[in-house]
Amino acid sequence: MTPDIMAAILNNSTRAVRELVKFSLGGVRALLKALIVMSFVSLTACVGVPERRKDAGFAVMLPFMRMDGGECYYLDDFMPTPDNMVSGKSSGLHVRYYTFRSATYKAWEQERVMLAFYSRDNRCWSLFEEYSTGRF
Q: What is the pLDDT of residues 80-91, one digit of tens each?
A: 999 999 999 988
What are the structural domain ranges in the chain? 1-48, 60-135
The structure's pTM equals 0.55
Helices (H), 47-104: 75-78
pLDDT tens digits, one per residue of 6-19? 666 656 666 655 66
- pLDDT tens, position by position, 15-50: 655 665 566 556 667 666 765 656 554 544 444 444
| Rounded distance between C-alpha atoms, residue 54 and residue 83, angstroms | 9
The candidate with the shortest Cα–Cα distance to 71, out of 31, 110, 115, 125, is: 125
Q: Is the pLDDT confidence value at 94 over 90? A: yes
